[in-house]
Amino acid sequence: MNPRMIIMRLAGTVFGIVCLFHLLRVIMDVDVVIGGWLLPIWVNWVGFFGTAALCVGLWYFSGKKK
């Protein structure tokens, strides 16, 4: 494994963990307040799909050969 592959897989794993936290907030219906503003649930749906796409993409491209 070269260093580039390791870094891409590590970043993909971090995005995967963040993706799971977004999904967990949606499932558990946890309120998040930032500066007195209640963060709507739809923001976590966007975050979930965005981080899931990054996670899958990084893992996919880290395994491709040149």
1 pLDDT tier (thresholds 50, 70, 90): confident
pTM: 0.88
Q: What is the pLDDT of residue 66?
A: 66
Give the tens place of pLDDT for each residue, 7-45: 999 999 999 999 999 999 999 999 999 999 999 999 999
Measured distance CA(45)–CA(59) in Å, rounded? 21
Q: How far apart are CA 28 and CA 32, in angstroms?
A: 12
| Domain parsing of the chain, residue ranges | 3-63
Give the contacts of 18 (CB within 8 A, at least 6 positions apart). Answer: 47, 51
Q: Indicate whether 65 pLDDT > 80.
A: no
